[in-house]
Every structure is written in C-alpha cells, then in structure tokens.
A = this chain, B = another copy of it.
Amino acid sequence: MTRWNLPLDHLPSAWYNVLPRLDTPLGPPLHPGTREPVGPDDLALLFPMALIAQEMSPEPWVDIPGEVLDILRLWRPTPLVRATRLEAALGTSARVYYKDESVSPAGSHKPNTAVPQAFYNRQEGVSRLATETGAGQWGTALAFACAQFDLECMVYMVRTSFEAKPYRKTMMEVWGGHVVPSPVEDPTHPGSLGEAITDAVRDAAGRPDTHYALGSVLNHVLLHQTVIGLEARDQFGLAGERLPDVVIAPCGGGSNLGGLALPYYEDTDVRLVAVEPSSCPTLTEGTFEYDFGDTGGMTPLLPMYTLGHDFIPPPIHAGGLRYHGDSPIISQLVRDGRMEAVAYPQGKVFDAAVLFARTEGKVPAPEAAHGIRAAVDEALAAKETGEERVILFNFCGHGHLDLAAYDDYLNGRLLD
C-alpha cells in the first residue's frame, strides 16, 4: 500500500500544546506603545478570550470542541501517502511520505485553524471577522469557515495578488466573503502582508462587532494545526513505519510547519526542517529580536526571527511565504538548535514541483513545493550514502489557483 487513511472515528480530539514543553520559554508579546508585556485584556479588542487563553496556555493538551470536529471531519483525517513513484524517479533508498492537506475545501491546511477561530468568535457573540491574505489561501479558508458559523468575513488582500489572482477573490466570494485590495489608502501601492495586517487590525479595532483573525505566526494558530502531525504519527503506526528521520515543511509564518513538526518536538532524534524562499530568508538570514507583526506597527511586538517589519519581499509566486517575520515558537526552536532552516530559489522549487506532479499526480502550490524541494534533496542525499532515510513532508496545498506560476516556469519567465 502507498496510502493510509485513519479510521474516520480517529480524528484527534485534543490539540498538542508545545508551550509548556519548550526547553526555553517564549518571551511575552510586548505592547506596541508601552513595550511592556501585554495581558489578556490588551488583546481582547482583537481576539475572543478563548483564543487569548490558548495563546498562553500552560496545558499540554487542549480539547477540540465538538462543533469544530463536526466541520473538520468534512475532510479530516487527511491521507498519509508514500511517494513511491517519486522515490523510483529519484532512485533513492529513502522512504518518502507526505501528509496531504490539499484535500480540504479551501485546498490547504489553513481551514484547520480558520474553523476553530470562527467557532470561538461566534461563541463570544462576534458577528464579523477581518483578516488579510497574501496568496489567498488564508482568506479562502476563513471565508469557508465563516460560512459555516454565519459570520461575515472581510478580507484585505495584498494588491498584487488581488490583481494577479482574480479567481482567489471569486472563491472567497462563493463562500460569501468580501474582498478588497490592500493597502486600502494607496491604490498605487503593490501591497505586502505586513500592510494588509495593518488594514485588517485597524478594521477590527474600529468596530465593536468585529474581531481580527490571523492565519499563522501566533501560538494558537500553530496549536490548531497540530492535528496534522498527530494524525501523521498514528498513520505511521498503521503503515508499520518507524519514526521519521526528518520532518520537513515550508515556512512562511510557520503554521503548516508547526502543525506537522511540533508533535515530533519531544522525539529528539527526529530532525525538524523549515524551508523558506531565498528571497525572503527570515530564519536563515534574519535576526532574532522583538519586532512588529505588521508594517504599520499596530500589533504587539513578538520575539522572532525577522527581516525588519518594513521589509518588502520580492514578488515570488509563493506569496504565502512572503512574510518578514516568523512564528515565535518556530523562531525559538531554530534559535535553540532544535530545528534547522534551509532556503531555496524558486527555480529549483518549481523543478521539484513539476517532478512531483508528473510522478505523484498532484500539482502543488508554490508554497508546498518548497517542502517537496527539500524532501527531494534529503532523498538524494540518502541515495549518496545508501541510507534508508525516512522522510516526511507536508503537502500543504494544491496549486490549482497558481497555474500562472507554472506557465511562467514552463515558458522560461520565472525569475530567481
């Protein structure tokens, strides 16, 4: 067999919380004005108390509410697949597995956190959520989740993406979302994720019916994504496979990486690898310091690797990885040497994406292809030494709405 489905009654019923298990506790978020540690009340303008509690939770496990499970089971558990046809094409002695998060309605891992965020907000009486989106995966997921709980959804979309990807906008609208280009106040500006966060936070702070939702970076987001790694652990058991030697995922803000890798945190023999674009090398070339999450300096300061909150990444196709900062949890793991980080130019990433599509069938999102590139290189390294390396990576999204990028690649128009 090359694919393993968990029994459908084996959905994880609690999220894995890495916070109380970390060797080095995270520094607290700091208030953007006073630079003092923020408390729950400072965040209540933007988030429901349930999420604020999760952001700082000392509990090793956090129960997943039944109403959230009822939505997640529309597509979870997701398949674990052994990429035997990719292995054969590489002639490797490694065994390569991937977790297929592309099967969700929105086509990526993002609904894993969009659904609980919509649920907790609805539970506390909020009727509207504001957010930002870069490539569009997060906005799509939140629009889907809001439709499930009858919430309005307002999405500020990075202007270059808004113009280049009209179908992402349409997909959000199919689920009832509202989408506008960001920055709102300067129609000539191409936009960035940092700018769009500023727009969304300003919207939420200004309306009592509205909260803000973030698709990555924060602790509660990574917490919700741990369903990915928890399922993978069980599926490795079904496959009769030992622990992976290396767990790999692309890293923009860190949520799909955290989701797959954190449940392996305590298995210290398992290497954890973050993959980022060379053009936005936050973990590989940034500095570890307190910085704002947005360009406008409206968010709390977080302790993280950053390229500076005014860094505008070049317009690569993996829009979901164009972020100046990174998750504090991921940053701490890299700083402590528990996690490695590598960076690739997009040409090498698309080489791997097309190889994957032609062998395993599925067309990857450019973000997901970063993980494939690193997995291929791990498999080729194992081939050199004849080692039976076990590799697990996160196939975090399909590329059905990113085909313009493939057209550029196939016609020699891709810039590195």
Residues in A83-97 with C-beta less than 8 Å from chain B:
85
Interface check A174, CB cutoff 8 A: yes
Contact indicator B74/A3 (Cβ below 8 Å): yes
Interface check A4, CB cutoff 8 A: yes
Interface check A406, CB cutoff 8 A: yes
Given contacts A2-B73, A166-B407, are A107 and B174 in contact (CB under 8 A)? no
Out of B4, B357, B400, name the residue touching A400 (CB < 8 Å).
B400
Contact indicator A410/B173 (Cβ below 8 Å): yes
Complex CA gap A73/B4 in Å reads: 11
Complex CA gap A367/B382 in Å reads: 45
Contact indicator B403/A167 (Cβ below 8 Å): yes
Interface check A363, CB cutoff 8 A: yes
Nearest B residue to A83 via CB reads B74
Q: Which residues of B contact A47 (CB under 8 A)?
A: none
Complex CA gap A78/B78 in Å reads: 12
Given contacts A105-B362, A354-B174, are A401 and B404 in contact (CB under 8 A)? no
Q: Which residues of B contact A360 (CB under 8 A)?
A: 74, 105
Contact indicator B5/A1 (Cβ below 8 Å): no
Interface check A270, CB cutoff 8 A: no
Contact indicator B8/A357 (Cβ below 8 Å): no
Contact indicator B3/A174 (Cβ below 8 Å): no
Contact indicator B361/A75 (Cβ below 8 Å): yes
Q: Which residues of B contact A205 (CB under 8 A)?
A: none
Q: A336: shortest Cβ distance to chain B, in Å?
A: 38
Residues in A138-178 with C-beta less than 8 Å from chain B:
144, 147-148, 166-167, 170-171, 173-176
Interface check A9, CB cutoff 8 A: yes
Out of B1, B170, B361, name the residue touching A407 (CB < 8 Å).
B170
Contact indicator A403/B5 (Cβ below 8 Å): no
Complex CA gap A360/B174 in Å reads: 12
Given contacts A1-B9, A362-B105, A363-B105, are A175 and B407 in contact (CB under 8 A)? no
Contact indicator B8/A173 (Cβ below 8 Å): no
Complex CA gap A400/B402 in Å reads: 10
Q: A11: shortest Cβ distance to chain B, in Å?
A: 10
Complex CA gap A173/B360 in Å reads: 15
Out of B5, B171, B176, B363, name the residue touching A174 (CB < 8 Å).
B363
Contact indicator B404/A170 (Cβ below 8 Å): yes
Interface check A35, CB cutoff 8 A: no
Complex CA gap A140/B30 in Å reads: 51
Complex CA gap A85/B4 in Å reads: 27
Given contacts A3-B73, A4-B8, are A174 and B357 in contact (CB under 8 A)? yes
Q: Which residues of B contact A73 (CB under 8 A)?
A: 1-3
Contact indicator A176/B358 (Cβ below 8 Å): yes
Residues in A28-58 with C-beta less than 8 Å from chain B:
none
Q: Which residues of B contact A171 (CB under 8 A)?
A: 363, 400, 403, 406
